[in-house]
Chain A
Amino acid sequence: MVVAPPEIRAPVDVDLRVEIGSAAKIPLVLRNPVLVASGTFGYGTEYARLFDVQRLGAIVSKGITARPRRGNRGPRIVETPSGMLNAIGLQNIGVHKVIAKMAPLWAEWDVPVVVNIAGDTVDEFAYMAEHFEGVSGIAGIELNISCPNLWEGGRVIAEDAATTSAIVEAVRSRTGLPLLVKLSPQVADICGVARAAEAAGADAISLINTFVGMKIDTHTARPVLANTTGGLSGPAIRPLAVWLVYLVSQAVRIPIIGMGGIASVEDAVEFIMAGATAIQVGTATFVEPRTASRIVEGLSDALLSRGCTRVADLVGRAHPGEAVVPSPIATARNLG
């Protein structure tokens, strides 16, 4: 057995805490960088029956709109190779019911809850931000300016920097809450959109929302989804997401929250190395409800084995000019 040098031998504490929200009145303090993605965790109550959701970094709620929505006709989901398409159509209980029914519950929880809000117009976003202001139990807002299932042909609301600026500015002027802006991967200039969000007061960029796709039933020659198109998620989109996190994290100063097919500790590490300060687990929760919780459990060892004691030590380490991270195997040997 190799004897480790004393300075590494000393008991090492890994600090998983991450802070988001320099522009916010109260920053979003996450005890770990593992969040669960909007639309894959309901309002947080459902999975509480299966495991301790309080251990997560944060929960991002189902997409909320100004008024309750019934969602799309079915079929709403279909499996694809290593992924799935969904066209739920933002079925939700609406901002007022969330404030009346869910927020009081969230206020009792240890885990922060970020509300994901979606709208068709700048005014709708502003209206919701105004109503969430000062509500106990709401730890932050994630702007869904990229849902592909609301508009015909899979178009998203914010395809350009100008629209993004308008929405983010309108919300920023009405809320002191930490503001995450979730972008579509299918825009002409994603760095431009991200910089516009940053300039308008966003505290973080959530990357990425789903890719628009479709599946055709070859027996009937009809699209499987009643909505024709849906958003593609799951491991199938992981390399696309890693690339966009890598790209955008070098274009803005605010933190990136990375997501897209994350299902394991190693996937999370990959996104952090690409430039993400925190990550979200989405579709993987459907497959294994405890995925995010297991990533929380395994992340300390994953950092330590790479010679890191803070998440920040590993953020963007794949970027050009960054020092190579020590091999986990070599580090494990050093640690004895």
Chain B
Amino acid sequence: MRLFTATVVENETIMPATNVLSLRVPEAAQGAAPGQFLHIHCGESSAPLLRRPMSVYRTERDVIQLMIRDVGEGSTWLVRRQPGEELDCLGPLGHGFRLHPQARNLLMVGGGYGVAPLVGLAERALARGANIALAVGAATRAHVFPTDLLPAEIEYLVATDDGSAGHAGYVTDLVPDRLAWADAVYACGPLAMMSALARIIRQKAPRKPTQVAMEERMGCAMGVCLGCVIETTRGPLRVCTEGPVFDIRNIVWRDEPTTLRRSNGSSAA
């Protein structure tokens, strides 16, 4: 982990509002593991103020690739970077996914752009001779991670909210049928998806080794500000330092915020 300047070598749109940014990084920043992240300064002023944690998508020698979804101030700035431009980065940070040497059949579950670290992980696991089923969930067919960016050996399972591709419903609906086959499970996605996965694992396969990459608002990413702390069975832990990857059984899942109730003119609060 260090502060370094990365040079953008490629910026490619792979899905609507989703780009893969390829960064040439110095030697000390190489060897990032899937699940680790870079903390990147976005913009040239005090707005946006904080660096943005960006999950490592794939790595190749001196290149780190990030898959960036254009969702807010920081990411909008990032997806507009052109080859040759430089980025102020801190990283690689945190603990990534760990591949168990004995695990032969790996089930990977990605929601939305949570698929990013799983692709890099799948490629590493393939190189070790593992069998991989990758289940992804997306809003519509247009938002499904493109098949042609995946190695052919990966079995690809798709779920969409609107049924325009694959299973109509949640990606976690695809999990129970695969649990017996899988030696280990790896997941990354929205909190609701991972908490649903946690319920499935608890009910159907409580001993199945399952790792999840958690996401939380981050300040320093150095373990100092304690802004990204989540509740775990081992007490409050920092996503940036002890995570982002945790054993699913160690996470204490908090309720999702209630949605805005449409009331008949009275206070909605």
Contacts and interface: CB of A to CB of B under 8 A. Distances in A.
B236 A91 contact: yes
Nearest to A88: B226
A82 B49 contact: yes
A78 B217 contact: yes
A46 B223 CA distance: 7
Contacts, number: 105
A265 interface: no
Given A42-B224, A46-B222, A81-B47, A289 B229 contact: no
B229 A76 contact: yes
Given A84-B49, A290-B3, 12 more contacts: A42-B224, A50-B222, A71-B226, A76-B227, A82-B47, A82-B49, A88-B226, A220-B260, A235-B46, A235-B49, A286-B219, A289-B222
Q: A-side binding surface: helix, strand, loop or mixed?
A: loop
A71 B228 CA distance: 12
Contact of B258 (A49, A83, A222, A263): A222
A263 B49 CA distance: 11
Contacts of B49: 79, 82-84, 234-235, 283, 287
A285 interface: yes
A40 B2 CA distance: 18
B235 interface: yes
A234 to B, nearest CB: 6
Contacts of A221: 260, 268-269
6 contacts: A77-B225, A79-B49, A235-B49, A283-B49, A286-B220, A288-B41
A49 B224 CA distance: 12
B207 interface: no
Interface string B209-220: 000000011111
Interface residues of B, number: 36
Interface string A202-229: 0000000000000001011110000000
B227 A86 contact: yes
A39 interface: yes
Contacts of A106: none
B230 A74 contact: yes
Contact of B48 (A79, A220, A283): A79
A283 B48 CA distance: 13
A288 B259 CA distance: 36
Given A71-B229, A286-B225, A287-B51, A263 B46 contact: yes
Nearest to A80: B49
A71 B238 CA distance: 12
Nearest to A283: B49
B51 A77 contact: no
Contacts of A74: 216-217, 228-231, 254
Contacts of B268: 221
Interface in B221-249: 222-231, 235-236
Given A221-B260, A287-B50, A73 B254 contact: yes
Contact of B220 (A76, A263, A285): A285
A97 interface: no
Q: Which among B46, B218, B268 has the highest number of chain A CB atoms within 10 Å?
A: B46
A84 B3 CA distance: 22
Contacts of B106: none
A218 to B, nearest CB: 9
B257 interface: yes
B216 A39 contact: no
A276 to B, nearest CB: 21
Contacts of A283: 49
A285 B229 CA distance: 19
Given A73-B231, A77-B225, A221-B260, A84 B46 contact: no
Given A50-B3, A290-B3, A41 B224 contact: yes
